[in-house]
Protein backbone atom coordinates (compact mmCIF):
# COMPACT_ATOMS: atom_id res chain seq x y z
CA UNK A 1 0.00 0.00 0.00
CA UNK A 2 1.62 3.24 -1.04
CA UNK A 3 1.76 6.28 1.18
CA UNK A 4 -0.31 8.49 -1.12
CA UNK A 5 -3.15 5.96 -1.06
CA UNK A 6 -3.07 5.88 2.75
CA UNK A 7 -3.25 9.66 2.95
CA UNK A 8 -6.12 9.66 0.49
CA UNK A 9 -8.04 7.04 2.50
CA UNK A 10 -7.48 8.93 5.76
CA UNK A 11 -8.72 12.14 4.12
CA UNK A 12 -11.91 10.48 2.88
CA UNK A 13 -12.50 8.67 6.17
CA UNK A 14 -12.38 11.97 8.05
CA UNK A 15 -14.75 13.51 5.52
CA UNK A 16 -17.20 10.61 5.84
CA UNK A 17 -17.15 10.76 9.63
CA UNK A 18 -18.00 14.47 9.50
CA UNK A 19 -21.23 13.47 7.75
CA UNK A 20 -22.33 11.83 11.01
CA UNK A 21 -23.10 15.34 12.26
CA UNK A 22 -25.10 16.41 9.23
CA UNK A 23 -28.78 17.15 9.50
CA UNK A 24 -31.14 15.14 7.32
CA UNK A 25 -31.63 18.28 5.17
CA UNK A 26 -27.90 18.60 4.57
CA UNK A 27 -27.79 14.94 3.56
CA UNK A 28 -30.68 15.31 1.11
CA UNK A 29 -29.19 18.39 -0.53
CA UNK A 30 -25.81 16.62 -0.83
CA UNK A 31 -27.58 13.66 -2.47
CA UNK A 32 -29.42 15.79 -5.01
CA UNK A 33 -26.24 17.69 -5.94
CA UNK A 34 -24.20 14.51 -6.38
CA UNK A 35 -27.01 12.77 -8.22
CA UNK A 36 -27.37 15.58 -10.77
CA UNK A 37 -23.64 15.54 -11.45
CA UNK A 38 -23.57 11.72 -11.70
CA UNK A 39 -26.48 11.61 -14.15
CA UNK A 40 -25.00 14.28 -16.35
CA UNK A 41 -21.60 12.55 -16.35
CA UNK A 42 -23.06 9.11 -17.08
CA UNK A 43 -25.11 10.28 -20.07
CA UNK A 44 -22.15 12.20 -21.43
CA UNK A 45 -19.41 9.61 -20.95
CA UNK A 46 -21.09 6.22 -21.07
CA UNK A 47 -22.61 4.98 -24.32
CA UNK A 48 -24.85 2.66 -22.32
CA UNK A 49 -26.43 5.38 -20.18
CA UNK A 50 -26.72 7.70 -23.16
CA UNK A 51 -29.13 5.13 -24.65
CA UNK A 52 -30.61 3.79 -21.40
CA UNK A 53 -31.66 7.21 -20.10
CA UNK A 54 -32.39 8.80 -23.47
CA UNK A 55 -35.06 11.49 -23.30
CA UNK A 56 -35.23 11.28 -19.51
CA UNK A 57 -32.66 13.86 -18.51
CA UNK A 58 -35.26 15.81 -16.54
CA UNK A 59 -37.08 12.84 -14.97
CA UNK A 60 -36.87 12.28 -11.24
CA UNK A 61 -34.67 9.32 -10.28
CA UNK A 62 -37.71 7.14 -9.55
CA UNK A 63 -38.77 7.34 -13.18
CA UNK A 64 -35.47 6.12 -14.62
CA UNK A 65 -35.34 2.45 -15.70
CA UNK A 66 -34.13 -0.14 -13.22
CA UNK A 67 -30.73 -1.62 -14.05
CA UNK A 68 -31.10 -5.36 -13.56
CA UNK A 69 -27.98 -7.48 -13.19
CA UNK A 70 -28.55 -9.15 -16.58
CA UNK A 71 -28.81 -5.77 -18.25
CA UNK A 72 -25.67 -4.61 -16.47
CA UNK A 73 -23.76 -7.66 -17.66
CA UNK A 74 -24.98 -7.31 -21.23
CA UNK A 75 -24.04 -3.65 -21.31
CA UNK A 76 -20.90 -3.95 -19.18
CA UNK A 77 -18.45 -2.71 -21.83
CA UNK A 78 -20.58 0.26 -22.80
CA UNK A 79 -21.19 1.23 -19.17
CA UNK A 80 -17.48 1.83 -18.63
CA UNK A 81 -16.40 5.43 -18.90
CA UNK A 82 -12.81 4.67 -18.01
CA UNK A 83 -10.90 5.38 -21.21
CA UNK A 84 -8.60 8.29 -20.49
CA UNK A 85 -5.67 9.21 -18.26
CA UNK A 86 -7.87 11.33 -16.01
CA UNK A 87 -10.04 8.27 -15.39
CA UNK A 88 -7.08 6.62 -13.67
CA UNK A 89 -7.08 9.41 -11.11
CA UNK A 90 -10.81 9.01 -10.57
CA UNK A 91 -10.30 5.27 -10.15
CA UNK A 92 -7.79 5.95 -7.35
CA UNK A 93 -10.23 8.33 -5.67
CA UNK A 94 -13.03 5.75 -5.92
CA UNK A 95 -10.80 3.09 -4.41
CA UNK A 96 -9.95 5.46 -1.54
CA UNK A 97 -13.61 6.30 -0.88
CA UNK A 98 -14.51 2.59 -0.93
CA UNK A 99 -11.70 1.83 1.55
CA UNK A 100 -12.69 4.80 3.72
CA UNK A 101 -16.30 3.59 3.79
CA UNK A 102 -15.12 0.22 5.10
CA UNK A 103 -13.05 1.98 7.75
CA UNK A 104 -16.09 4.00 8.75
CA UNK A 105 -17.82 0.72 9.66
CA UNK A 106 -15.02 0.14 12.16
CA UNK A 107 -15.35 3.67 13.54
CA UNK A 108 -19.12 3.20 13.96
CA UNK A 109 -18.35 0.00 15.87
CA UNK A 110 -16.12 1.95 18.22
CA UNK A 111 -12.79 1.09 16.67
CA UNK A 112 -11.77 4.64 15.95
CA UNK A 113 -8.20 5.01 14.76
CA UNK A 114 -5.89 6.09 17.56
CA UNK A 115 -2.27 7.13 17.80
CA UNK A 116 -1.24 4.09 19.84
CA UNK A 117 -2.32 1.74 17.07
CA UNK A 118 0.54 2.95 14.89
CA UNK A 119 2.84 1.15 17.33
CA UNK A 120 0.51 -1.63 18.39
CA UNK A 121 -1.81 -2.51 15.49
CA UNK A 122 -5.15 -4.10 16.30
CA UNK A 123 -4.93 -7.85 15.75
CA UNK A 124 -7.69 -8.74 13.37
CA UNK A 125 -9.02 -11.80 11.66
CA UNK A 126 -11.00 -12.08 8.47
CA UNK A 127 -12.60 -15.50 8.18
CA UNK A 128 -14.05 -16.22 4.77
CA UNK A 129 -15.95 -12.92 4.55
CA UNK A 130 -16.91 -11.91 1.03
CA UNK A 131 -14.56 -9.65 -0.87
CA UNK A 132 -14.67 -6.16 0.53
CA UNK A 133 -15.28 -4.35 -2.70
CA UNK A 134 -14.56 -4.05 -6.37
CA UNK A 135 -10.93 -3.32 -5.75
CA UNK A 136 -10.17 -6.49 -3.82
CA UNK A 137 -7.50 -6.06 -1.22
CA UNK A 138 -7.82 -6.29 2.51
CA UNK A 139 -10.79 -5.11 4.51
CA UNK A 140 -8.89 -2.19 5.92
CA UNK A 141 -5.84 -0.66 4.32
CA UNK A 142 -4.82 0.92 7.59
CA UNK A 143 -1.42 -0.05 8.97
CA UNK A 144 -3.10 0.31 12.36
CA UNK A 145 -4.71 -3.07 11.84
CA UNK A 146 -2.84 -6.30 11.33
CA UNK A 147 -4.97 -8.88 9.57
CA UNK A 148 -4.79 -12.61 9.45
CA UNK A 149 -6.97 -14.05 6.72
CA UNK A 150 -8.50 -17.47 7.24
CA UNK A 151 -9.70 -19.49 4.28
CA UNK A 152 -13.48 -19.80 4.04
CA UNK A 153 -13.10 -23.52 3.29
CA UNK A 154 -11.52 -24.29 6.68
CA UNK A 155 -14.04 -25.54 9.25
CA UNK A 156 -14.24 -23.56 12.50
CA UNK A 157 -13.20 -26.66 14.45
CA UNK A 158 -9.75 -26.53 12.81
CA UNK A 159 -9.07 -22.92 13.70
CA UNK A 160 -9.01 -22.96 17.50
CA UNK A 161 -5.26 -23.41 17.94
CA UNK A 162 -4.42 -20.71 15.42
CA UNK A 163 -6.92 -18.23 16.85
CA UNK A 164 -5.97 -18.99 20.47
CA UNK A 165 -2.44 -18.09 19.46
CA UNK A 166 -3.34 -14.95 17.49
CA UNK A 167 -5.94 -13.60 19.96
CA UNK A 168 -7.74 -11.25 17.58
CA UNK A 169 -9.40 -8.15 19.02
CA UNK A 170 -11.46 -7.78 15.88
CA UNK A 171 -13.15 -10.52 13.87
CA UNK A 172 -14.83 -10.04 10.57
CA UNK A 173 -16.76 -12.90 9.05
CA UNK A 174 -20.19 -14.08 8.01
CA UNK A 175 -22.97 -14.84 10.51
CA UNK A 176 -22.85 -18.61 9.95
CA UNK A 177 -19.07 -18.78 10.46
CA UNK A 178 -19.23 -16.56 13.53
CA UNK A 179 -21.87 -18.91 14.91
CA UNK A 180 -19.59 -21.91 14.31
CA UNK A 181 -16.72 -20.11 16.07
CA UNK A 182 -19.00 -19.10 18.95
CA UNK A 183 -19.96 -22.75 19.42
CA UNK A 184 -16.25 -23.68 19.55
CA UNK A 185 -15.82 -21.03 22.25
CA UNK A 186 -18.80 -22.26 24.24
CA UNK A 187 -17.41 -25.83 23.97
CA UNK A 188 -14.12 -24.59 25.44
CA UNK A 189 -11.86 -25.39 22.47
CA UNK A 190 -11.63 -21.76 21.42
CA UNK A 191 -10.47 -19.21 24.00
CA UNK A 192 -10.42 -15.72 22.51
CA UNK A 193 -11.78 -12.37 23.67
CA UNK A 194 -12.59 -10.26 20.61
CA UNK A 195 -13.83 -6.74 21.36
CA UNK A 196 -15.75 -6.47 18.10
CA UNK A 197 -17.34 -9.06 15.85
CA UNK A 198 -18.28 -7.56 12.50
CA UNK A 199 -20.59 -9.57 10.28
CA UNK A 200 -21.79 -9.34 6.74
CA UNK A 201 -23.06 -11.24 3.75
CA UNK A 202 -25.54 -13.60 5.39
CA UNK A 203 -28.74 -13.42 7.37
CA UNK A 204 -28.10 -12.59 11.03
CA UNK A 205 -30.96 -13.92 13.12
CA UNK A 206 -31.61 -12.69 16.67
CA UNK A 207 -30.75 -16.20 17.89
CA UNK A 208 -27.35 -16.18 16.13
CA UNK A 209 -26.62 -12.75 17.53
CA UNK A 210 -27.54 -13.94 21.00
CA UNK A 211 -25.27 -17.01 20.83
CA UNK A 212 -22.31 -14.96 19.57
CA UNK A 213 -22.79 -12.37 22.31
CA UNK A 214 -23.15 -15.14 24.85
CA UNK A 215 -19.89 -16.75 23.71
CA UNK A 216 -17.74 -13.65 23.89
CA UNK A 217 -19.79 -11.18 25.90
CA UNK A 218 -19.04 -8.77 23.14
CA UNK A 219 -20.95 -6.63 20.73
CA UNK A 220 -21.90 -7.87 17.29
CA UNK A 221 -21.95 -5.36 14.46
CA UNK A 222 -23.87 -6.32 11.38
CA UNK A 223 -23.18 -4.78 7.98
CA UNK A 224 -24.99 -4.89 4.66
CA UNK A 225 -22.64 -5.20 1.74
CA UNK A 226 -22.90 -6.15 -1.90
CA UNK A 227 -20.20 -7.22 -4.30
CA UNK A 228 -19.10 -4.27 -6.34
CA UNK A 229 -20.95 -1.81 -4.14
CA UNK A 230 -19.02 -2.06 -0.89
CA UNK A 231 -20.75 -1.21 2.37
CA UNK A 232 -24.39 -0.18 1.96
CA UNK A 233 -25.34 -0.07 5.65
CA UNK A 234 -23.79 -0.76 9.02
CA UNK A 235 -24.66 -0.76 12.71
CA UNK A 236 -23.72 1.95 15.17
CA UNK A 237 -23.15 1.38 18.88
CA UNK A 238 -26.87 1.84 19.62
CA UNK A 239 -27.72 -1.43 17.79
CA UNK A 240 -31.12 -0.21 16.63
CA UNK A 241 -30.55 -1.39 13.07
CA UNK A 242 -28.15 -0.63 10.25
CA UNK A 243 -27.59 2.93 9.04
CA UNK A 244 -27.78 3.24 5.27
CA UNK A 245 -24.67 4.90 3.85
CA UNK A 246 -26.76 7.54 2.13
CA UNK A 247 -23.94 10.01 1.65
CA UNK A 248 -22.37 7.55 -0.82
CA UNK A 249 -25.52 6.02 -2.31
CA UNK A 250 -29.15 6.74 -2.96
CA UNK A 251 -30.87 3.59 -1.73
CA UNK A 252 -34.46 2.88 -2.74
CA UNK A 253 -36.36 0.07 -1.07
CA UNK A 254 -39.19 -0.99 -3.38
CA UNK A 255 -41.89 -3.64 -3.77
CA UNK A 256 -42.15 -6.10 -6.66
CA UNK A 257 -43.75 -3.39 -8.83
CA UNK A 258 -40.94 -0.94 -8.12
CA UNK A 259 -42.85 1.34 -5.74
CA UNK A 260 -41.19 2.62 -2.60
CA UNK A 261 -42.35 0.77 0.53
CA UNK A 262 -43.16 2.41 3.86
CA UNK A 263 -41.01 1.95 6.98
CA UNK A 264 -41.88 -1.26 8.82
CA UNK A 265 -42.64 -3.17 5.60
CA UNK A 266 -40.22 -5.46 3.77
CA UNK A 267 -39.41 -4.47 0.20
CA UNK A 268 -38.71 -7.03 -2.51
CA UNK A 269 -35.84 -5.19 -4.18
CA UNK A 270 -33.17 -2.65 -3.31
CA UNK A 271 -32.17 -0.13 -5.98
CA UNK A 272 -28.74 1.39 -5.46
CA UNK A 273 -27.38 4.49 -7.11
CA UNK A 274 -23.74 4.92 -6.26
CA UNK A 275 -23.02 8.63 -6.01
CA UNK A 276 -19.23 8.52 -6.24
CA UNK A 277 -18.44 5.89 -8.87
CA UNK A 278 -17.54 7.35 -12.20
CA UNK A 279 -15.50 4.62 -13.95
CA UNK A 280 -18.56 2.35 -14.02
CA UNK A 281 -21.58 4.33 -12.95
CA UNK A 282 -24.39 2.42 -11.27
CA UNK A 283 -27.78 4.10 -11.39
CA UNK A 284 -30.79 2.25 -9.95
CA UNK A 285 -28.87 -1.01 -9.89
CA UNK A 286 -31.14 -3.77 -8.65
CA UNK A 287 -30.31 -6.08 -5.75
CA UNK A 288 -32.74 -8.86 -4.96
CA UNK A 289 -32.48 -8.38 -1.21
CA UNK A 290 -35.47 -8.01 1.05
CA UNK A 291 -34.91 -5.03 3.32
CA UNK A 292 -37.13 -3.23 5.84
CA UNK A 293 -36.78 0.40 6.89
CA UNK A 294 -37.06 0.96 10.63
CA UNK A 295 -40.10 2.86 11.79
CA UNK A 296 -38.14 4.70 14.48
CA UNK A 297 -35.04 6.89 14.27
CA UNK A 298 -31.78 5.98 16.00
CA UNK A 299 -30.94 7.94 19.16
CA UNK A 300 -27.34 8.42 17.95
CA UNK A 301 -28.57 11.34 15.83
CA UNK A 302 -26.85 10.33 12.57
CA UNK A 303 -28.83 11.56 9.56
CA UNK A 304 -28.82 8.19 7.81
CA UNK A 305 -32.03 6.13 7.80
CA UNK A 306 -32.02 2.79 9.57
CA UNK A 307 -32.95 -0.63 8.28
CA UNK A 308 -33.96 -3.20 10.87
CA UNK A 309 -34.73 -6.18 8.64
CA UNK A 310 -32.42 -7.71 6.06
CA UNK A 311 -32.80 -10.93 4.08
CA UNK A 312 -30.01 -11.14 1.52
CA UNK A 313 -31.13 -12.46 -1.84
CA UNK A 314 -29.12 -14.61 -4.26
CA UNK A 315 -25.74 -13.17 -5.06
CA UNK A 316 -24.40 -13.15 -8.56
CA UNK A 317 -20.80 -12.87 -9.58
CA UNK A 318 -19.99 -9.27 -10.39
Q: What are the residues binding Zn ion (CB under 5 A)?
A: 236, 238, 298, 300
Q: In this complex, which beta carbon is closest to Zn ion, that of residue 202 or of residue 307?
A: 307
Longest dimension (CA), the chain: 64
- In angstroms, give the least distance from the CB of 297 to Zn ion: 8
CB of 224 to Zn ion, least distance (A): 14
Between 238 and 268, whose beta carbon lies closer to Zn ion?
238
Select 243 or 278, whichever has its Cβ closest to Zn ion.
Answer: 243
Are the CB atoms for 169 and 194 separated by under 8 Å?
Answer: yes
Shortest CB 178 distance to Zn ion, Å: 22
Nearer to Zn ion, 230 or 303 (CB): 303
Provide the minimum distance between the beta carbon of 235 and Zn ion in the complex, in angstroms, as a whole number: 8
Q: Which is nearer to Zn ion, 9 or 298 (CB)?
A: 298
Rama region for 138: left / alpha / beta (φ>0; ψ in -120 to 50; rest): beta
State the nearest-atom distance from the C-beta of 183 to Zn ion, in Å: 30
Measured from the CB atom, the residue of 250 and 298 that comes closer to Zn ion is 298
The nearest distance, CB 310 to Zn ion, in angstroms, is 16
Give which of 88, 98, 139 is closest to 9, Cα–Cα: 98
C-beta of 35 vs 300, nearer to Zn ion: 300
108: CB partners within 8 A, 6+ apart: 221, 234, 235, 236, 237, 243
CB 27, min distance to Zn ion, A: 14
Amino acid sequence: MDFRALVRIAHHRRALLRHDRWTREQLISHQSRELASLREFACLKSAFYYRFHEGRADCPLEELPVLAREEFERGALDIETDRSATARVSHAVEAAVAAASRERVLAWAGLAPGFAQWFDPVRSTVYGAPAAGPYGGPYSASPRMRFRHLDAARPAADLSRELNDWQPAFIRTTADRALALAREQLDGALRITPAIVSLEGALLTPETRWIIEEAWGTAVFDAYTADGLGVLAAECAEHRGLHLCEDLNVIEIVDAEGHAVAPGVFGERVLVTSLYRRARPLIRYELRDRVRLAARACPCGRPFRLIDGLEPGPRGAR
